[in-house]
């Protein structure tokens, strides 16, 4: 992960309708806050551009010293509807005024409303049920548990394998990390992953063999038979790219799971709720997962996640045995209801699809100016990524990615720190509601930043 310098540098002032940069960066007065955090938090919480968020509205993030950035982060792909949406704020106020702040598994009306709304988004609404949780990792973790329990109860202990993909990210708790595909992140789990196996992801750049035969071949090499597999989980697009499966691959994966009664799980924590121009990214592939893990954009704000899944699998656990203290937490549920309504009323899913067409063409044009060091562009809807590489190779160049990121930050365009297998991917994810003039302005800023970094050599 990038370490950003905390030494303020003078940067050219910026004043437009959408951006203001009026101080050195990081803001000298903010350094005290970073210093205090160092005294109270683990260093794992560092690693983002050194801004202190004060308020965020629509597609703008501001500090309290007068600086304002156009946001290409959406937090971390959370605020699909935009930051601080007035209807979400109003809905939260209404819950605060009741007040109703914690309910455990006692019923409240919004829980019934939200689970119904989410079930209605499933491939076959009547056949699906919804379990609400708080974080994305809990949702993927719950999917693993459900798949393994289904397999155990129906077929016995031989169905013990759980399959996921190289470079996958499903969260940071134990099960989701076991299913993750970045060995660096799971060193702490050494020896505990005997029944979790990863196969190459067919992204076409890091792995150029995109045939489903490679999936089958890899399982064979690992000595895993289809009738030993409980579940297969994949992000609908891998966050490291964003990397997408070929449609044909996804269809073959679905058929393989159906033929062998393997639970097919799509992790939509990042990809869901309109980000790619469909409500769920798996819709691009024309498949119907058995379990769908949701998070982030589900509420565009407060901590909420969900598993939307086939009724027969979701109903395995008896009353009281699959719950969580903050399941359907009233504030988070209220935010999610208004968020889902807003995505529909403001046609933000369609908007992401439409804006994404020219936006991604433009981003690709910028990448193609420097193909030897900006090795790969991927994008769909309003999520995109450019992978920085050592000149003329496919070897990640995280330093170059950070330099582009910092240059944008200095110009009033905010992205979270580069992601990817080695931090080489400049990831782009504005709120789906970003006004067109702000999107065009931010694209210009991005091109200027890339050009300047390239000119600096
Ligand atoms: C695809 C995917 N799955 C799961 C998670 C974990 O979500 P959370 O950080 O809310 O636990 C993330 C978070 O980045 C993600 O991108």
Q: Could you report the per-residue pLDDT of 309-331, keeping only the tens digit for each?
A: 999 999 999 999 999 999 999 99
Residue 389 has pLDDT above 80, yes or no: yes
β-bridge pairing 161-165 and 60-62: unpaired
pTM of the prediction? 0.98
Q: Which two tokens stand for residue 220?
A: 């064979």
Residue 176 CA, closest ligand 1 atom number:
4
How far does the centroid of ligand 1 lie from the alpha carbon of residue 208, in Å? 26
Residue 1 has pLDDT above 70, yes or no: no
The verdict on 128 and 217 lying in the same domain is yes
Q: Which of 288, 314, 345 is the last residue of a domain?
A: 345
How far does the centroid of ligand 1 lie from the alpha carbon of residue 293, in Å? 9
Edge-to-edge strand ranges of the sheet holding 229-235? 128-133, 305-310, 291-294, 263-267, 229-235, 161-165, 196-199
The verdict on 181 and 270 lying in the same domain is yes
Residue 164 has pLDDT above 70, yes or no: yes
Torsion sign (Cα): 267, 271, 277, 279: positive
The verdict on 335 and 390 lying in the same domain is no
CA distance 193 to 171: 16
How far does the centroid of ligand 1 lie from the alpha carbon of residue 170, in Å? 5
Query: CATH number of the domain that 198 lies in?
Result: 3.40.640.10
User: In the prediction, which pLDDT does 84 show?
Assistant: 98
How far does the centroid of ligand 1 lie from the alpha carbon of residue 138, in Å? 9
* Sequence-distant (≥ 6) Cβ neighbours of residue 133 within 8 angstroms: 139, 142, 304, 305, 306, 307, 324, 326, 327
Q: Running DSSP on this structure, what letter comes out for residue 280? A: S
Any domain includes 8 = no
User: In the prediction, which pLDDT does 89 show?
Assistant: 98
Q: Is 58 in the pocket of ligand 1 (CB under 6 A)?
A: no
Q: Which of 345, 375, 398 is the last residue of a domain?
A: 345
Q: Which two tokens stand for residue 399?
A: 């330093």
How far does the centroid of ligand 1 lie from the alpha carbon of residue 371, in Å? 30
Q: Whose CA is nearest to atom 13 of ligand 1?
A: 171
The mean pLDDT of 428-435, rounded to a whole number, is: 98
Residue 138 CA, closest ligand 1 atom number:
11
Ligand 1 pocket mutation pick from 170, 268, 307, 336 by most atoms within 8 angstroms of CB: 170
* Number of domain units in the chain: 2
Average pLDDT, the chain: 97
Q: Whose CA is nearest to atom 3 of ligand 1?
A: 170
CA distance 275 to 93: 27
For the chain, the residue count is 457
Any domain includes 175 = yes
Any domain includes 398 = yes
How far does the centroid of ligand 1 lie from the alpha carbon of residue 102, in Å? 24
Q: Which of 345, 371, 390 is the last residue of a domain?
A: 345
CA distance 24 to 5: 13
Q: Is 396 in the pocket of ligand 1 (CB under 6 A)?
A: no
User: In the prediction, which pLDDT does 187 show?
Assistant: 87
The verdict on 205 and 240 lying in the same domain is yes
Q: Is 252 in the pocket of ligand 1 (CB under 6 A)?
A: no
The mean pLDDT of 45-74, rounded to a whole number, is: 98
The verdict on 225 and 370 lying in the same domain is no
Helix (H, G, I), strand (E, B) or coil at 111: helix
Any domain includes 190 = yes
Q: Is 235 in the pocket of ligand 1 (CB under 6 A)?
A: yes
pLDDT in tens, 261-288: 999 999 999 999 999 999 999 999 999 9
User: In the prediction, which pLDDT does 405 show?
Assistant: 98
For the chain, the first-to-last Cα distance in angstroms comes to: 22
Domain, as residue range, for 417: 14-81+348-456
CA distance 254 to 204: 20
Ligand 1 pocket mutation pick from 74, 136, 293 by most atoms within 8 angstroms of CB: 136
pLDDT in tens, 221-252: 999 999 999 999 999 999 999 999 999 999 99
CA distance 300 to 92: 13
- Could you tell me what percent of the chain has a pLDDT over 90? 96
Q: Is 169 in the pocket of ligand 1 (CB under 6 A)?
A: yes
- Could you tell me what percent of the chain has a pLDDT over 70? 99
pLDDT in tens, 19-33: 999 999 999 999 999
Q: Running DSSP on this structure, what letter comes out for residue 71? A: E
Residue 140 CA, closest ligand 1 atom number:
4
Q: Which two tokens stand for residue 386?
A: 């450019």
- Inter-residue contact 105 to 123 (CB < 8 Å): no
Any domain includes 258 = yes
- Inter-residue contact 330 to 112 (CB < 8 Å): no
Residue 192 has pLDDT above 80, yes or no: no
CA distance 284 to 449: 32
437 exposure class (CB count in 10 Å sphere: 0-12, 13-18, 19+): exposed
- 194 falls in which pLDDT band (50, 70, 90)? confident
The verdict on 69 and 107 lying in the same domain is no
Residue 97: count of CB within 10 angstroms of its CB = 8
The verdict on 403 and 335 lying in the same domain is no
The verdict on 355 and 339 lying in the same domain is no
Any domain includes 7 = no
Q: Is 171 in the pocket of ligand 1 (CB under 6 A)?
A: yes
Q: Running DSSP on this structure, what letter comes out for residue 294? A: E
The verdict on 110 and 248 lying in the same domain is yes
How far does the centroid of ligand 1 lie from the alpha carbon of residue 294, in Å? 9
Q: Is 299 in the pocket of ligand 1 (CB under 6 A)?
A: no
The verdict on 120 and 246 lying in the same domain is yes
Strand partners, 69: 61
Q: Whose CA is nearest to atom 10 of ligand 1?
A: 136
How far does the centroid of ligand 1 lie from the alpha carbon of residue 168, in Å? 10
Reported as half-sphere exposure (CB side, CA atoms, 13 A), residue 339 has a value of 32
Query: CATH number of the domain that 435 lies in?
Result: 3.90.1150.10
β-bridge pairing 383-388 and 374-380: antiparallel
How far does the centroid of ligand 1 lie from the alpha carbon of residue 295, in Å? 7
Q: Is 141 in the pocket of ligand 1 (CB under 6 A)?
A: no
Q: Is 239 in the pocket of ligand 1 (CB under 6 A)?
A: yes
User: In the prediction, which pLDDT does 258 show?
Assistant: 98
Q: Is 295 in the pocket of ligand 1 (CB under 6 A)?
A: yes
How far does the centroid of ligand 1 lie from the alpha carbon of residue 135, in Å? 8
The verdict on 320 and 352 lying in the same domain is no
Q: Is 137 in the pocket of ligand 1 (CB under 6 A)?
A: yes
pLDDT in tens, 333-350: 999 999 999 999 999 999
How far does the centroid of ligand 1 lie from the alpha carbon of residue 406, in Å? 24
């Amino acid at each position: 992960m990038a370490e950003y310098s905390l030494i303020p540098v003078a940067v050219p002032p910026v004043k437009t309708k959408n951006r203001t940069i009026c101080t050195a960066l990081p803001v000298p007065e903010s350094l005290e806050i970073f210093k205090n955090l160092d005294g109270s938090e683990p260093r794992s919480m560092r690693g983002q551009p050194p801004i202190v968020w004060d308020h965020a509205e629509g597609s703008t993030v501001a500090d309290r010293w007068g600086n304002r950035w156009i946001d290409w982060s959406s937090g971390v792909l959370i605020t699909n509807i935009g930051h601080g949406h007035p209807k979400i704020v109003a809905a939260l106020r209404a819950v605060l005024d009741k007040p109703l702040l914690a309910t455990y598994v006692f019923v409240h009306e919004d829980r019934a409303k939200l689970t119904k709304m989410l079930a209605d988004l499933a491939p076959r609404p009547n056949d699906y049920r919804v379990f609400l949780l708080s974080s994305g990792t809990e949702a993927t973790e719950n999917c693993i548990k459900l798949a393994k329990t289904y397999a155990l109860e129906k077929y016995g202990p031989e169905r013990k394998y759980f399959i996921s993909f190289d470079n996958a990210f499903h969260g940071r708790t134990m099960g989701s990390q076991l299913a993750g595909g970045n060995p660096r992140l799971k060193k702490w789990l050494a020896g505990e992953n005997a029944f979790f196996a990863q196969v190459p992801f067919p992204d076409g750049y890091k792995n150029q063999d995109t045939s489903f035969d490679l999936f089958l071949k890899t399982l064979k090499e690992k000595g895993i038979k289809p009738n030993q597999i409980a579940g297969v989980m994949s992000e609908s697009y891998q966050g490291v790219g964003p990397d997408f499966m070929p449609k044909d691959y996804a269809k073959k994966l679905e058929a393989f799971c159906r033929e062998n009664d393997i639970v097919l799980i799509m992790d939509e924590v990042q990809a869901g709720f309109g980000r790619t121009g469909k409500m769920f990214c798996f819709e691009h592939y024309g498949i119907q997962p058995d379990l769908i893990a949701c998070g982030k954009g589900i509420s565009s704000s407060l901590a909420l996640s969900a598993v939307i899944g086939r009724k027969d699998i979701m109903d395995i656990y008896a009353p009281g045995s699959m719950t969580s203290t903050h399941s359907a937490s009233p504030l988070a549920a209220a935010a999610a209801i208004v968020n889902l309504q807003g995505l529909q009323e403001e046609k933000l899913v369609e908007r992401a699809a439409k804006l994404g067409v020219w936006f991604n063409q433009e981003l690709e044009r910028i990448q193609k100016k420097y193909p030897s060091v900006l090795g790969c562009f991927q994008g769909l809807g309003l999520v995109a990524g450019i992978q920085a590489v050592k000149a003329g190779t496919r070897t990640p160049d995280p330093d170059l990615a950070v330099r582009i990121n910092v240059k944008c930050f200095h110009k009033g365009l905010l992205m979270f720190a580069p992601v990817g297998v080695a931090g080489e991917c400049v990831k782009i994810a504005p709120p789906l509601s970003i006004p067109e003039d702000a999107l065009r302005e931010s694209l210009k800023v991005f091109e200027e930043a890339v050009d300047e970094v390239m000119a600096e050599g």
